[in-house]
């Protein structure tokens, strides 16, 4: 028996490390069953749905995922579903499948962010390759989302004064200039700056500026990073 202390539970994993899932939304039962069998045979987890509304009822999965989506559905169309989940589930790439595709439909889907558009019948291996690529894109997106949330959490741990100091320091101002701007002594600025560096887990000014740019790209000029590069 494997010792319990070395067993890694699914709940202990980061979102990007969790078991990937392939969602399939298609009203044709034979297509759903065929895709589910193919996905399972490839060693991946599949969940199938007959319509868009059934899929929308499912809570968002924080694991790497992709959506294999039929264009023609009995309630919402695949393109309508794509628009509905564009913001909320941006880390779930969409692969469209259809028996009635045309160029305008394909262009619309791809412009809206679909990663692939296949016309039935399609080659199973080509679809599997697209699924694996989509899942990897999802994994990258989840990693980036987790990193950004970590930065936000660290920034939230700063005091109000520390945030003021950080906001000015990352624009390239010297400690003396920061102190004059907010009306405190230079030595006090240095103290707050040390706390900012520690709490933000930044080991250099360049790293702090990079973190600030990820939080507020529009507030931190690129020139500030170039000065310390």
Tens digits of per-residue pLDDT, 24-65?
A: 999 999 999 999 999 999 999 999 999 999 999 998 878 899
Length of the chain: 229
According to CATH, the topology of domain 14-148 is Rossmann fold (3.40.50)
- pLDDT at residue 5, rounded to an integer: 37
Say what the pTM is.
0.76
Architecture of domain 157-228: Orthogonal Bundle (1.10)
3-state secondary structure the chain: CCCHHHCCCHHHCCHHHCCCEEEEECCCHHHHHHHHHHHHHCCCEEEEECCHHHHHHCCCCCCCEEEEEECCCCCCCHHHHHHHHCCCCCCCCEEEEECCCCHHHHHHHHHCCCCEEEECCCCHHHHHHHHHHHHHHHHHHHHHHHHHHHHHHHHHCCCHHHHHHHHHHCCCCCHHHHHHHHCCCHHHHHHHHHHHHHHCCCCCHHHHHHHHHHHCCCCCCHHHHHHHC
Tens digits of per-residue pLDDT, 178-201?
A: 999 999 999 999 999 999 999 999
Domain with CATH 1.10.10.10 in the chain: 157-228
Per-residue pLDDT of the chain (229 residues; tens, 9 = 90+): 333 333 344 445 666 677 899 999 999 999 999 999 999 999 999 999 999 999 999 988 788 999 999 998 988 899 999 999 988 888 999 999 988 767 777 888 888 888 999 988 889 999 999 999 999 999 999 999 999 999 999 999 999 999 999 999 999 899 999 999 999 999 999 999 999 999 999 999 999 999 999 998 887 766 555 565 5
Domain with CATH 3.40.50.2300 in the chain: 14-148
Of the candidates 93, 90, 48, 91, the residue with the CA atom closest to the CA atom of residue 73 = 48
């Amino acid at each position: 028996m494997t010792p319990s202390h070395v067993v890694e539970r699914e709940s202990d994993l980061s979102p990007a490390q969790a078991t990937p899932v392939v969602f399939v939304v298609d009203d044709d039962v034979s297509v759903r069953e065929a895709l589910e069998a193919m996905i399972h045979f490839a060693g991946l987890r599949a969940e199938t749905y007959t319509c868009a509304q059934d899929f929308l009822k499912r809570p968002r999965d924080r694991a790497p995922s992709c959506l294999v989506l039929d264009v023609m559905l009995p309630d919402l169309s695949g393109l309508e579903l794509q628009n509905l989940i564009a913001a909320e589930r941006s880390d779930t790439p969409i692969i469209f499948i259809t028996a009635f595709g045309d160029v305008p439909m394909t262009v619309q889907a791809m412009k809206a962010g679909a990663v692939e558009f296949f016309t039935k019948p399609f080659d199973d291996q080509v679809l599997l390759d697209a699924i694996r690529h989509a899942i990897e894109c999802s994994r990258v997106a989840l990693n980036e989302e987790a990193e950004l949330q970590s930065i936000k959490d660290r920034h939230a741990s700063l005091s109000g004064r520390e945030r003021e100091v950080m906001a000015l320091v990352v624009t390239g101002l010297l400690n003396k200039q920061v102190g004059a701007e907010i009306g405190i002594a230079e030595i006090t600025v240095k103290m707050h700056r040390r706390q900012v560096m520690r709490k933000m887990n930044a080991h250099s000014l360049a790293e702090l500026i990079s973190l600030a740019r990820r939080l507020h790209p529009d507030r931190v000029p690129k020139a500030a990073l170039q000065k310390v590069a």
